[in-house]
Amino acid sequence: MSTLALKGPQWVTFRQHRRALWWSLALAVCALAVMVASRMWSDGAVDALRTAGCTVNGSDRSCFQAQRNYADDQWFARNLVRYAAAAMLVLPILLGAFVAGPMLAREMESGTYKLAWTQSVSPARWLAAKIAVPAALTLTVVPVLSLVFYWSWSTGPADDYPTFWYEPTVFVSYGVVPVAHALLGLALGTAVGILVRRTIVAMGIAAVVIGVALAVLSRLRDGLWPVRTLTGAGLSAEGRAWPLDRGMLTASGERILWQDCFTAQSDDVGRCMTGRGGVTGFLDIHPASHYWPLQLVETGICVAVAVLATLAAFRVLRSRHP
């Protein structure tokens, strides 16, 4: 890696945080290993069941143990997917906290900025390098994680215990959103690191800010693309659609939600709904085809916020430094 053709402030940033960069690569490899293991564990379970000559739903008593092993293995594989997805969810927080604290605030806290900012390279280029190095790492590693997660998740633990694309952790684990979230974390961490001049405080604030941003995105996600409303009786979200609000429509088209009646009159919900004027049922869904529009809109929002945060960081730097 010493032959890496890095120059100027990028070289300095890389050298300073070499250890952290290696650690982050090691963590990425661990995450990939978990994803691959999940897939292999799941395949192994399928093979074992087939070798035993059994099926999942068969009622042959001799298959009881094989079915049980299969269920245990699939459950284990599914948990690995869940762990990997949880790691993908917190990745932007870890990244942002590292950039805010050890990369930026520590330069202020320890006074090394006085060294860095009196060289020929301008403070703006110094900050640009501080962003470029982790951004380059993010843009190479996170797409790999995203692709391997998709491969592991979509073909791995069979449909007996499915996890769905719209679950908060799964949605942020593949596609382009993981990259967008990582860049958002990086940019928010940069802004916090420039504003807060204490390493630990900056890490804490960055973690909270990014955590809140991710929570808000998760909360707003179902509204990022127009929902499709199904009407009729006995509706269910088929074809891996994301079910949202559910209720009944009145004759005038007004919506009544089931959840209101569950609290108001839990002993006879149906009567409560019709009593309020419900004529026919409705269900809001995002069909599976909304996956990419939702991903792209969320990516756009993240990139826009990231750009604003980065510009703000450069502005603050310029206002503090002649």
Q: Name the site residues for another protein (rule: CB under 8 A).
A: 7-9, 11-12, 15-16, 19, 110-122, 320-322
Enter the tokens of residue 163.
């996890």
**Shortest Cβ 317–another protein spacing (Å):** 12
SS (H, E, C) the chain: CCCCCCCHHHHHHHHHCHHHHHHHHHHHHHHHHHHHHHHHHHHHHHHHHHHCCCCCCCCCHHHHHHHHHHHHHHHHHHHHHHHHHHHHHHHHHHHHHHHHHHHHHHHHHHCCHHHHCCCCCCHHHHHHHHHHHHHHHHHHHHHHHHHHHHHHHHHCCCCCCCCCCCCHHHHCCCCCHHHHHHHHHHHHHHHHHHHCCCHHHHHHHHHHHHHHHHHHHHHHHHHCCCCEEEEECCCCCCCCCEEEEEEEEECCCCEEEHHHHHHHCCCCHHHHHHHCCEEEEEEEEECHHHHHHHHHHHHHHHHHHHHHHHHHHHHHHHHHCC
Residue among 17 and 286 whose Cβ is closer to another protein = 17
**Shortest Cβ 18–another protein spacing (Å):** 8
Residue among 10 and 74 whose Cβ is closer to another protein = 10
Residue among 123 and 178 whose Cβ is closer to another protein = 123
Residue among 8 and 275 whose Cβ is closer to another protein = 8
CA distances from 160 to 36, 77, 166, 245, 305 (A): 19, 12, 17, 26, 39
**Shortest Cβ 97–another protein spacing (Å):** 19
Residue among 5 and 251 whose Cβ is closer to another protein = 5
239: left (phi over 0), alpha (psi -120 to 50) or beta: left
Residue among 15 and 50 whose Cβ is closer to another protein = 15
Residue among 11 and 258 whose Cβ is closer to another protein = 11
Distance CA 136, CA 184 (A): 14
**Shortest Cβ 119–another protein spacing (Å):** 4
**Shortest Cβ 107–another protein spacing (Å):** 9
**Shortest Cβ 114–another protein spacing (Å):** 4
Residue among 65 and 112 whose Cβ is closer to another protein = 112
**Shortest Cβ 136–another protein spacing (Å):** 17
**Shortest Cβ 21–another protein spacing (Å):** 12
